[in-house]
Amino acid sequence: MTKRDMVVRIAEETGLIQQDVHTVVQKALDMIVESLANGKNVELRNFGVFQLKERKQRIGRNPNRPEQVVAIPSCRIVKFKPGKVMKERVSG
């Protein structure tokens, strides 16, 4: 499902204008990204939690030249942990 599919479906089920639904969906996604960029986790009850994790700097190797060592810098990544309701519906 794409964001467009989601907007169309919500508009059909609620009777709202697609442009208004798109604005709300986009604003919600923007707020999630903004919170994560500010270092805050985002918890949506019964859906899941978006968490920031810090990956430490590590040493990697070039697969084409195993003797060549490459430093991989530390970075922040986003992890998603599904909520109880989502786990039950998806597995079930």
pLDDT for the residue numbered 63: 86
Mean pLDDT, residues 78-87 taken together: 94
Burial per residue of 50-86, b for 16 or more beta-carbon CB atoms within 10 angstroms, e otherwise: bebeeeeeeeeeeeeeeeeeeeeeeeeeeeeeeeeee
Where is pLDDT greater, at 68 or 4? 4
pLDDT for the residue numbered 66: 84
Confidence of residue 6 (pLDDT cuts 50, 70, 90): very high
Asked if residue 92 has pLDDT above 90, the reply is: no
pLDDT digits (tens, 9 = 90+) for 32-79: 999 999 999 999 998 999 999 999 999 998 888 888 899 999 999 999
